[in-house]
Amino acid sequence: MKLSSVDQEQGAGFAGLSTSVLHAYSSPPAGVASRRELAERRQAVVDATVPVGGLLRAEAFSKLLLTRFGQPVPLLAHWIVHRRVLSVNWCTEIMVPLFQFERPSLEPISAMREVRAQFEGTLDDWAILEWFVMPNAVLEYDSPARRISHDSNAVVQAARGKHLGE
């Protein structure tokens, strides 16, 4: 398993999430020829998260939240289940992209919910993460992940454009 700039802490799994959140493909999605291609595509997405903070295992992120919140595991699980934050299942671990949190509060950026709503039912979490980390023409070829913390309205508009096929 190759992970770039990702927390290497070992853990037994992230308690508190329903199995519906632990989404993994049993077969590659449309447009992906093989499991190998899927793995390579996902690795490219993981690598693209590095300049915008990278990914952190949910367990490790919960430990960071403990410094600010009393019950971090249920809180993070609530944020994931209610789609306030994005998470992906990578090699049996729930991973949380760090670009989606305010610094230093670690609260989710409020626009995340609105952006995610634009893709509801059309893109899975991996595809949404890919959209966030890739250059976007509407954002002058900047990535939505780079922009969400300081120009969330533009990111929401870009998501609406993607959703509408523009």
How high is the pLDDT of residue 85? 97
How high is the pLDDT of residue 21? 34
pLDDT digits (tens, 9 = 90+) for 85-134: 999 999 899 999 999 999 999 999 999 999 999 999 999 999 999 999 99
Mean pLDDT (the chain) is 84
Average pLDDT over residues 54-75: 94
Residue 110 burial (10 A CB sphere; 0-12, 13-18, 19+): exposed
HEC profile of 46-95: HHHHHHHCCEEEHHHHHHHHCCCCCCHHHHHHHHHHCCCCCCEEECCEEE
Position 109: which residue type? I
How far apart are alpha carbons 25 and 37 in whole angstroms?
Answer: 13
Whole-model pTM above 0.95?
Answer: no
Q: 3-state SS of the chain: helix, strand, coil percent to 5?
A: 45, 10, 45
pLDDT digits (tens, 9 = 90+) for 145-162: 999 999 999 999 999 987
60 pLDDT tier (thresholds 50, 70, 90): very high
**Torsion region of 106: left, alpha or beta (phi above 0 gives left; psi -120 to 50 gives alpha):** left
Instruction: Indicate if the pLDDT at residue 43 is higher than 50.
Output: yes
Higher pLDDT, 9 or 131: 131
How high is the pLDDT of residue 35? 87
Looking only at the bridges linking them, the beta strands covering 88-90 and 55-57 are: unpaired
Q: Where do the structural domains in the chain lie, given as residue ranges?
A: 35-163
Neighbours of 95 (CB within 10 A): 26
32 pLDDT tier (thresholds 50, 70, 90): low
pLDDT digits (tens, 9 = 90+) for 73-89: 999 999 999 999 999 99
List, edge to edge, every strand of the sheet that includes 88-90. 55-57, 93-97, 88-90
Average pLDDT over residues 8-15: 34
